[in-house]
Amino acid sequence: MTLAVVGEQKQPRRRARRGADETVGVTSGGWFVKITIAVVVLIWMVPAVGVLVTSFRTEAVSNRTGWWTMFAHPFRTSEWTLQNYREALGTGGFKSAFLNSLAVAIPSTVIPIVIAAFAAYAFSWMSFRGRHVMFVLVVGLMVVPLQMALIPILRLYTSGASLGGLRVFPDLELNGTFLGIWLAHTGFGLPLATYLLRNYIGSLPSSIIESAQIDGADHFTIFWRLVVPLSVPALAAFAIFQFLWVWNDLLVAYVFLGGTRDTRVITIALANLVGSRGENWYLLTSAAFISMALPLVVFFSLQRYFVRGLTAGSVKG
């Protein structure tokens, strides 16, 4: 089902703008269309604007009046402040939470991509026993809800696993460590990454690969010097999808990293803040905005890849 969506994305852009046929018949609905669009966009913007505005208002003011009242007197500077952000980043602990999120999200993005790219290359251009079966497995695992994996993996992390007295998985004390959550995210992201990259790498022209082989390049060289550079669009699309997925994730971080101040990621910190100081809006909104800042930067700077990544990654367990 993912393939169908990706296919749609790959189709050539048919027309950038209707221009010509607008004059044929659609002139009547012009105002209706514009107003409806404007109203919907406005409704969609209101929640985010509320957070943004409140995050810059002083504690006393935001506690006393609704944020929309500021439109009556937007230039009353005594009501504006940066102190909220200072407090959230400092005593609120959101600076270290931000760094922890980076430490979780970057390797959790790169590791599955590297592993999936090697696997995708093998599935596309190498022949070996069990190739088809293994790939069907990958396709099947794509929609497994990750709730199915939480309990057993946490058990592996805290006490290892043994089979009839034989230790098959050592007790690595991975619970609460970065390595533990990287591996978990790698496992959950891998089926989709392998599937997408295999579709892309498999559609590269075979003549390129074959001529490199004739020139004496081994598989590792072909993969690293030829296939990876050619697959940058697919790699970037998945990278953005996975990065945002991990950055915005609460569940996996809650289970494997927990809420201690040293390791908690930004979503956990925010969720805890809601629990402990749910009505301190000056702090909640600035903290929320800190957590959204990076995804929004990614969104605005890499919008094309972002859309491609999200639509490609639409089905994930």
Partner 1 sequence: MSETVKPPVLQRIDHRTATAVRVIGVVAAIFAFGFLGTRMLDFLRDDDANRLLVVLSAILLGVVGVFVVFWAMDQVVDWLPKKIREGARPYVFVGPAIVILSVFLIYPVINTMLISLRDANGQDFVGADNYRFVFTNHSMLRALRNTAGWVIIVPLIAVSVGLGFATLADRLRRGEAVAKSLIFLPMAISFVGAAVTFRLIYSYRPSGFGTNIGLLNGIWQGLGNEPVAWLSQQPWNNLFLMVIMVWMQTGFAMVVLSSAIKAIPTEIIEAARIDGASEWRIFRYVTVPSILPTIVVVTTYMVINAMKVFDIVFVMGNAETNGTEVVAERMIRWYFISNHDGRAAAIAVVLFLAVIPVMVWNVRKFRQQEAMR
Q: Using the minimum distance from each CB to partner 1, give the nearer residue, 48 or 232.
A: 48
Nearest approach in angstroms of CB 250 to partner 1 is 5
Helix intervals (H) in the chain: 2-10, 22-25, 30-55, 59-64, 83-89, 94-125, 131-141, 147-159, 178-202, 206-214, 219-221, 228-230, 232-248, 251-256, 266-276, 281-301, 303-312
Name the minimum Å distance from CB 205 to partner 1: 15
Q: Is the dihedral of CA 7, 143, 178, 99 positive or negative?
A: positive
Token pair 């709730």 is found at: 147
Comparing CB distances to partner 1, the nearer of 136 and 232 is 136
Query: Which C-beta is closer to partner 1: that of 207 or that of 216?
Result: 216
> DSSP labels for 3-31?
HHHHHHHHSPP--S--GGGHHHHGGGGHH
Tokens for 205, please give them: 């022209």
| Closer CB to partner 1, 84 or 186, in the complex | 186
Cβ distance to partner 1 smaller for residue 17 or 73: 17
Query: What is the closest distance, in whole angstroms, from the C-beta atom of residue 278 to partner 1 in the complex?
Result: 7
Structure tokens at 169: 């998985």
Nearest distance in Å: CB 218, partner 1: 8
- Residue 291 CB, nearest approach to partner 1 (Å): 5
Taking the complex as a whole, how short is the minimal distance between the CB of residue 12 and partner 1, in angstroms? 9
> Is 302 strand, coil or helix?
coil
DSSP string, 236-283: HHHHHHHHHHHHH--HHHHHHT-S-TTT--HHHHHHHHHHHSTT-HHH
9 versus 211: smaller Cβ distance to partner 1:
9
CB of 49 to partner 1, least distance (A): 10
Pick 16 or 75: Cβ nearer partner 1 = 16
Considering the complex, what minimum distance in angstroms separates the CB of residue 305 from partner 1? 13
Give the Å distances, CA to CA, from 233 to 228, 236, 237, 238: 10, 5, 6, 9
Backbone angles phi, psi at 57, to 5 degrees: -95, 150
Give the length of the chain. 317
Identify whether the C-beta of residue 244 lies closer than 8 Å to the C-beta of residue 298.
yes
Beta carbon nearer to partner 1, 45 or 78: 45
Please state, in angstroms and rounded to a whole number, the distance separating the CA atoms of residues 161 and 166: 9
Residue 208 CB, nearest approach to partner 1 (Å): 18
Q: Which is nearer to partner 1, 78 or 250 (CB)?
A: 250
